Structure 1
Amino acid sequence: MRYDDHLRYEYEFETIDPLGRIGVIALATDFNIETDLRRLVPVGVEVLTNRVLNANPISLESLRAMAPDIARAGAGILPNVGVDAMIYACTSGTAAIGEENVEAAIHSVWPGIPVTNPLKSACAAFEALGAKRLSVLTPYVREVNETLVEELTRRGFEIVNIGSFNIDSDFDATRIPSDAIAAAGRDLCDPSADVLFVSCTALRAAAVVETLEADLGKPVVCSNQALAWHALQLIGCAARPTGFGRLFDR
């Protein structure tokens, strides 16, 4: 057998990520996050994912149990190459573990890297939209909802009302039809709320943001939409997707 280990062709290496790289620490149980984020970032931005160990059913205990694995999952995203920003992709997990703890775990393996999460991104989105009073839609069980409300309230937002599908499985949360999410959002959103917040990276909510905004006459923020919006800011990317709500007009 002839073996040629140095093929002689003229070429230059191409840049495959001209607008930047975003690392995503996703939950092992999340069936939706990569699909949404690839729709929500422009061509030229690469999204690289690794998964943190977690398990259903979703509870405060199971959410907090993933904390020791965050650093390992982050370290496994393009080692020795790196990304421009890192996402920890769990809204309820951030509330349960604590944002400072999540960022400390990521910075232990990627010192100084810009980090965001759905809770941080959503709060930045509310501020950009001038929203203080929130109607909140989630798939979570009550104890997880209560922790989320505590975190949002601590950050200075008023929760007008909250409604839930009361589901304890990420896989089942992704199976909720987008039309059902839209119908629940329309019924739940209080007229006095400044914005409707649809929480959870597993929910297929990004697809109905514009429909809900048209029906409600006010901004709608969901976890994955806010994540993409905030991560694009962190990597300095001015390009924006279309069709995903008023947030991307800011």
Structure 2
Amino acid sequence: MNPGIGTLARIGQLYPSGGLCDHEPQLMAPEGVRFVTTRVPFKQTSLEADRKFSEGLEGHAQLLADASVDLLAINCTAATLLAGPQVLRKRLFDATGLDSVTTIEAVIAGCRAQGMRRIGLLTPYPQEVIEVEREYFAGLSIEVVSALGKPCTTPVEQGSLPSQAWLELAQGFRGMALDGVLISCAGIQVAEVLATIEAQLGLPVVSSNQALVWMCLHQLGIDQPVVGFGSLFSKACAGLE
């Protein structure tokens, strides 16, 4: 599908520079919604790199504002968690006058919309990042019952893994007492297997890019149906706090 110039909306995506999956939000967006992307320096997958992601973010956001976007999407799950999503949104609003959606807020809203309190966490993160996410989720009454994945050291490595790898890794959650599965990372190829994972496990699935698109559409009041990318797109979104 050709998104054109964004007849319904343009969304400015701030995305890690070393990432390879900035196309995934566009893949899931309905016709007329265009994601425009600007890269933010990010070459390693570590807590240090995640913390540095938000440095100077205002300048990158202004480049997207030049394209007359309607909304900003700060698309790095762990980085938006560490910087504080509300802090980031205020910073970018002050700099550009534009509202923002952060990936961490989107995945939390997605988990709540799907009734997911006990989750399986699937990621390409190193253990130090997994533990930070586990603690953050616990503070929001979401328990990580089990964490599975393939730790990667760079976003290029993350993005190079085929979607089939995540489909196979998700099978490790079979038989666990879970409410659903969260696939956390905006830098991996999972969009095309989300519905399959749901069908195979009999559980709802939320992923970073999926949840980001879902929340952006709700923020913009766009109600075009999105099918083939998991059940989240059929759920209402409570919005941002």
TM-score by length of 1: 0.88
Q: Output one character per residue of 1:20-53: Cα deviation in whole Å (capped at 9) or x when no partner.
A: 11111111111112x1111110111111111112
Q: Output one character per residue of 1:55-91: Cα deviation in whole Å (capped at 9) or x when no partner.
A: 22x1111111122221111111042x63222110000
Q: Does the alignment pair 1:69 with 2:69?
A: no
Letter of the 2:24 partner, please give it.
Answer: D
**Identical-residue share of aligned pairs (%):** 28
Match for residue 139 of structure 1 among 106, 124, 145: 124
Structure 1 residue 189, shift from structure 2 partner: 5.2
Match for residue 50 of structure 1 among 38, 46, 69: 38
Counterparts in 2 of 1:190 and 1:109: CA distance versus 1, 3 Å: farther
Aligned to 1:21: 10
Letter of the 1:230 partner, please give it.
Answer: M
Q: Does the alignment pair 1:123 with 2:108?
A: yes
Aligned to 1:4: none
Q: Unaligned 5+ residue runs, structure 2?
A: 236-241
Mapping 1:190-209, distance limit 5 Å: 191-209=176-194
Structure number, greater radius of gyration? 1
Match for residue 217 of structure 2 among 232, 244, 247: 232
Contact 1:64 / 1:96 at 8 angstroms: preserved in 2?
A: yes
Q: Output one character per residue of 1:93-133: Cα deviation in whole Å (capped at 9) or x when no partner.
A: 1122221332233122123x332122111111111112211
Counterparts in 2 of 1:195 and 1:218: CA distance versus 1, 3 Å: same
Contact 2:148 / 2:172 at 8 angstroms: preserved in 1?
A: no
Q: Unaligned 5+ residue runs, structure 1?
A: 1-14
Contact 1:137 / 1:188 at 8 angstroms: preserved in 2?
A: no
Aligned to 1:152: 137
Structure 1 residue 161, shift from structure 2 partner: 1.2
Q: Secondary structure at the match of 2:56?
A: helix
Contact 2:118 / 2:144 at 8 angstroms: preserved in 1?
A: yes
Q: Within 2, Cα distance between the matches of 1:132 and 1:202?
A: 24
TM-score by length of 2: 0.91
Structure 1 residue 242, shift from structure 2 partner: 1.3
Q: Within 2, Cα distance between the matches of 1:155 and 1:189?
A: 25
Aligned to 1:87: 73
Q: What number of residue pairs does the alignment pair up? A: 232
Q: Within 1, Cα distance between the matches of 2:42 and 2:154?
A: 11
